[in-house]
Structure 1
Amino acid sequence: MIATMNPADLGSMGLIADDPFISDDPVGMPSLSNALYGFDPSGLANRIFRLLKRYIGATDDDLKMLTLWIMHTWVFASLYTTPRLLVTSILPGAGKTTLLEWIGHLGAKSEMLSAISSASLLANLADQGYTLLVDEADRSLRKDNPLAADFIAVVNTGYKKGGSRTIQEPDKKHGWKVVRKSTHAPAVFAGNNPDLPADTRQRCIPVFLYPSDEVEESDWEMIEENDAEYLDLRHDLPIWAETAASAIKPRPTLPESVKGRYREVWLPLARIAQTQSGDWLDTVRRLSAEFVEQAKTDADLGLANDSPHIVLLKDIAELWATQWRTCTFVGSQQMCDALAYGNPTQWGDQQPGGFGRLTAKRLASMLKKAGVEASRNRERTKRGYRFTAFAQAWKTLKIWEALKLEPPTPGTGMGADADASDGSDTSDASIGSTLEGISANISKNDSEPERLEHWAATLSTTADIPDWTALSSDQLQAIRKVKHTGLWLNKTTTELSRRGITV
């Protein structure tokens, strides 16, 4: 059995090494780091990730960001910047406060702030290196709160090493004295899309939570007494932090697009990731590039602040209950077209702001914030969404009760391949592979414009039309009106021109 040694004893043993995280001996002898610490410091991130996954409802990518951010609270004083964490959700009961509790328990010393009472208190906490955990940030940081500006000033100046703020403190002899406090400290905002200034939001890494029936309840009385994974991490993290400064000093490379403030946000996590075994550094590189791309997309599409995510979830539910009741999978473009037709002022050409029709990219960006992930159909020929992917969000928001609709049961009566209960089916919501299928979805009076446009909106790809020559001219015109992309226009133009109709 190998005894646990204090890293400070290395010198007396003549075992000083440039890198304390020495890999395992190839013949199977325990690593020097295991002997020194009693655990493998390069495996800490994997252990934290596994623990968080048991208790927090979020995507694996967001849990990995959380893992590295928690580790950075132990060594932030050795880092040039400390990125802010923005914990939010569009769904109630997602566990924002629970996550703050986990950060408080696994991170270095912290202070939970459900209200802001004093700028002096904030500066003193930051000066002492506390991680500032701001709960209900959408309320406490409202613009009509006179102390909100002071807190934002502390957070913004404390983003970089050397940041400070001058405050007044009581003095027995002179009444008041002016002192300068360091503000360099980690900070977390948790709330329902808090109204943060643009420069503060740019310093934040967002984490989107969603309610999940698969996570365990965070019963802290039981966790602090019986959860061996948690107790071991609470013991090991301070030990890791004592000697981590040299390991995180090297500056890893990030993708070329991650520069300026984006690099300042992600470099601290990359420095932590490079000390961990596995693909942690590659994950940070991928997520940082996606972060930059997403930030630009959100700005272009008007999603940087508030956006109508709940309206989107309701509209999709209504479409599934009326148009796609037997379908377990709907393609992204088909969903966008149906939404644009059904609610043109929200998702179509009539929406304000000049953002244009809803695109598959914007759809994915909005749904991801509700914990709804895209997938592919069984043949892997089409990207879209399964009915089951929306179940948790709809349940939490009580969508079916609000719409006063009976939830559909996709796949029933369609054979074994259409059983949506396990999410394995990908029965596409298409108009059908025959003209009989098309006719069944439109009015007998196929010259009725609204019915034809409704039918056109349900088409997913041009392959849904097996014989373009069999379509009526009114059907072709309806497709042109609803669809605006090149292939649809080419197909309809060719067929209408063949009939001598100029478009």
Structure 2
Amino acid sequence: MTVMHPLDGLEHFYRKYVVLPSEHHYVALPLWAAHTYIAKAFDTTPRLFLDSALPGSGKTRVLELLDLTAFQPMMAFSASPAAIIRTIAGATEPPTILFDEIDTIFGAKASSQSQELAAVINAGYKSGATVPKCVGNAQSMTVVKLDAFAPVALAGLHSNVPEATRSRSIHFRMQRRKQSEKVQPFRRRSATAEVEPLVAALAEWVVPLQDRIGPSWPEMPTGVDDRDAEVWEPLLALADAAGGEWPRRAREACTAFVFAPNGYSRAIGIDLLSDIRTLFQVHRVDQMKSADVVSRLVALTESEWGNVDGAALTQRGLAKLLRPFDVRTKSIKCQGSVARGYAVFGDGGLHEAWERNLEPDDGIAVALLPDLSATSATAATPQVEVVASADASSSGSTAPVFVGAPQNPPASEVADVADVAAPDEGAQYVPRARAWLLDQELSA
């Protein structure tokens, strides 16, 4: 009978209850949990930072799973800096601090106490870090240095976490589950009973490694150095100790995390994703130049994109807002020329972001469309050309690829398309066939 390694068991346990963004995350999470048992063996303890564009993306679930599997976990929802410091300083071994809703710590309206807590989080990343505290009464006050070194996991909704914290972190950019991605219901009592033997096996394996793993320096993937090497050194050392596929998988995960596109914004707009989906539906294309996306967004009736922080949305601003959803520009062919733009499918495409973050939509919102009564191009409602897809361009055809709209709408829906323009319908959604007909007017 083959005995499962504790890291394999931990990975299996996590997979049952949470969907993580990639296979690399399922490698990093068990290794991070394991390192909390022997944090003192390392020079650093990387922060685990989980954020997302929307609630319900699994951040709190990850913290709940760590609360069952990490070493001496402490869920800190509203703990004061003094309580956190004294908890760490009073422990024989560094406990694992789990912060949820870190928006209150790093938000724009963060209090002085929150700023002090942020300083503790950053300082406690490195072994030997201390925080000075005054003890005693007013007549007899002394300053003592309290140990701040401890593993910390942070979770929040696209929080404005400073670079000082992010550079010390392994960043999990969480996403909502697809309907096709299933997990088992999490019941703490049953999950606790299930994982207790696994946690015992994990401790039995990892604790004896403390004396011999500390002096070792794991080989880093090419290009991983300085702060990134500090962050990943504990996890790679444990992967090497585990053997099997873990050394390879851990280095692949390290490379993926370190060289992933950086940055995210607090001004993430679900409205932006929705409006872009509307544009692609109206123009029935699977790719569009960045310049066209921006101009068409600004032209949408009653849209907010004409005034973003005091100025109209730009291509650079659009890229920044889409970055948290892992949507990126790429070189696309449009009408015989190559330009930077966005595609529905493929790496960095929009489809994944739409599927994860927007409700299913069979049509477009009439209220978002430019004024259909315009008969000529104006600054307010520019006439926009239909962009041909890369496949169509390469074949010499200029016909666009239809996205979410039939090429031959049923006669029954053609007959009542006039109802779409009725002024009292507001933002009613129209069927895809009507969207097809509306576009004929737009491109006429």
Alignment match of 2:270 (pick from 310, 335, 347): 310
In structure 2, the partner of 1:134 is 99
Q: CA deviation at 1:341?
A: 4.3
Give yes or no for the alignment of 1:264 onto 2:243: no
Q: Which has the larger radius of gyration?
A: 1
Q: Deviations over 1:419-449 (max 9, x none)?
A: xxxxxxxxxxxxxxxxxxxxxxxx9xx9979
In structure 2, the partner of 1:201 is 166
CA RMSD of aligned residues (A): 4.0
In structure 2, the partner of 1:144 is 110
| 8 Å CA contact 1:162, 1:184 repeated in 2 | yes
Give me the whole-angstrom Cα distance separating, in 1, the residues matched to 2:384 and 2:105. Answer: 46
Q: Deviations over 1:157-186 (max 9, x none)?
A: 211111111212347x96544322111101
Give me the whole-angstrom Cα distance separating, in 2, the residues matched to 1:144 and 1:169. Answer: 25
Give me the whole-angstrom Cα distance separating, in 2, the residues matched to 1:186 and 1:255. Answer: 24
| 8 Å CA contact 2:283, 2:386 repeated in 1 | no
In structure 2, the partner of 1:489 is none
Give me the whole-angstrom Cα distance separating, in 1, the residues matched to 2:15 and 2:36. Answer: 19
Give me the whole-angstrom Cα distance separating, in 2, the residues matched to 1:456 and 1:322. Answer: 9
Q: Deviations over 1:63-120 (max 9, x none)?
A: 3221211111111110110011111111111232222111111000021111132x32
Structure 1 unaligned runs (5+)? 1-29, 371-380, 406-442, 469-503
Deviates more, 1:336-345 or 1:50-59: 336-345
Give me the whole-angstrom Cα distance separating, in 2, the residues matched to 1:121 and 1:99. Answer: 23
| 8 Å CA contact 1:338, 1:457 repeated in 2 | no
Name the structure, 1 or 2, with higher relative contact order (CA <8 Å, separation 6+).
2
In structure 2, the partner of 1:49 is 11
Give me the whole-angstrom Cα distance separating, in 2, the residues matched to 1:461 and 1:351. Answer: 35
In structure 1, the partner of 2:51 is 88
Give me the whole-angstrom Cα distance separating, in 2, the residues matched to 1:351 and 1:279. Answer: 51
In structure 2, the partner of 1:390 is 354
| 8 Å CA contact 1:114, 1:140 repeated in 2 | no
In structure 2, the partner of 1:243 is 208
Q: Identical aligned pairs, as a percentage?
A: 21
In structure 2, the partner of 1:475 is none
| 8 Å CA contact 1:273, 1:284 repeated in 2 | yes
In structure 2, the partner of 1:418 is none
Alignment match of 1:342 (pick from 291, 296, 307): 296
Q: CA deviation at 1:351?
A: 7.7
Alignment match of 1:224 (pick from 192, 196, 214): 192
Alignment match of 1:188 (pick from 153, 173, 184): 153
TM norm structure 2:
0.69
| 8 Å CA contact 1:120, 1:168 repeated in 2 | no
Give me the whole-angstrom Cα distance separating, in 2, the residues matched to 1:266 and 1:353. Answer: 38
Give me the whole-angstrom Cα distance separating, in 1, the residues matched to 2:348 and 2:130. Answer: 49
Alignment match of 1:366 (pick from 324, 334, 338): 324
Secondary structure of the 1:255 match is coil
In structure 1, the partner of 2:404 is none
Q: CA deviation at 1:308?
A: 2.7
Give yes or no for the alignment of 1:275 onto 2:275: no
In structure 2, the partner of 1:472 is none
Secondary structure of the 2:57 match is coil
Give me the whole-angstrom Cα distance separating, in 2, the residues matched to 1:320 and 1:75. Answer: 51
Instruction: Identify if the C-alpha distance between structure 1 residues 291 and 235 changes in structure 2 by more than 3 Å, giving closer, same or farther.
Output: closer
| 8 Å CA contact 2:50, 2:172 repeated in 1 | yes
Secondary structure of the 1:244 match is helix
Give me the whole-angstrom Cα distance separating, in 1, the residues matched to 2:225 and 2:347. Answer: 31
Q: Deviations over 1:452-494 (max 9, x none)?
A: 97335343367346169xxxxxxxxxxxxxxxxxxxxxxxxxx
Secondary structure of the 2:242 match is coil
Give me the whole-angstrom Cα distance separating, in 2, the residues matched to 1:449 and 1:352. Answer: 17
| 8 Å CA contact 1:337, 1:457 repeated in 2 | no
Give me the whole-angstrom Cα distance separating, in 1, the residues matched to 2:59 and 2:86. Answer: 25
Q: CA deviation at 1:249?
A: 4.3
Alignment match of 1:463 (pick from 393, 398, 406): 393
Instruction: Identify if the C-alpha distance between structure 1 residues 90 and 130 changes in structure 2 by more than 3 Å, giving closer, same or farther.
Output: same
Give yes or no for the alignment of 1:111 onto 2:74: yes
| 8 Å CA contact 1:90, 1:369 repeated in 2 | no
Q: Deviations over 1:185-228 (max 9, x none)?
A: 01111111222232122111111222325122211122224x3x
Give yes or no for the alignment of 1:454 onto 2:384: yes
Instruction: Identify if the C-alpha distance between structure 1 residues 335 and 272 changes in structure 2 by more than 3 Å, giving closer, same or farther.
Output: farther
| 8 Å CA contact 2:56, 2:176 repeated in 1 | yes
TM norm structure 1:
0.61
Instruction: Identify if the C-alpha distance between structure 1 residues 239 and 384 changes in structure 2 by more than 3 Å, giving closer, same or farther.
Output: closer
Instruction: Identify if the C-alpha distance between structure 1 residues 98 and 280 changes in structure 2 by more than 3 Å, giving closer, same or farther.
Output: same
Q: Deviations over 1:366-388 (max 9, x none)?
A: 33389xxxxxxxxxx97574857
| 8 Å CA contact 2:99, 2:154 repeated in 1 | yes
| Equivalent AA in structure 1 for residue 235 of structure 2 | L
Q: How many residues matched? A: 360
Give me the whole-angstrom Cα distance separating, in 1, the residues matched to 2:391 and 2:378. Answer: 21
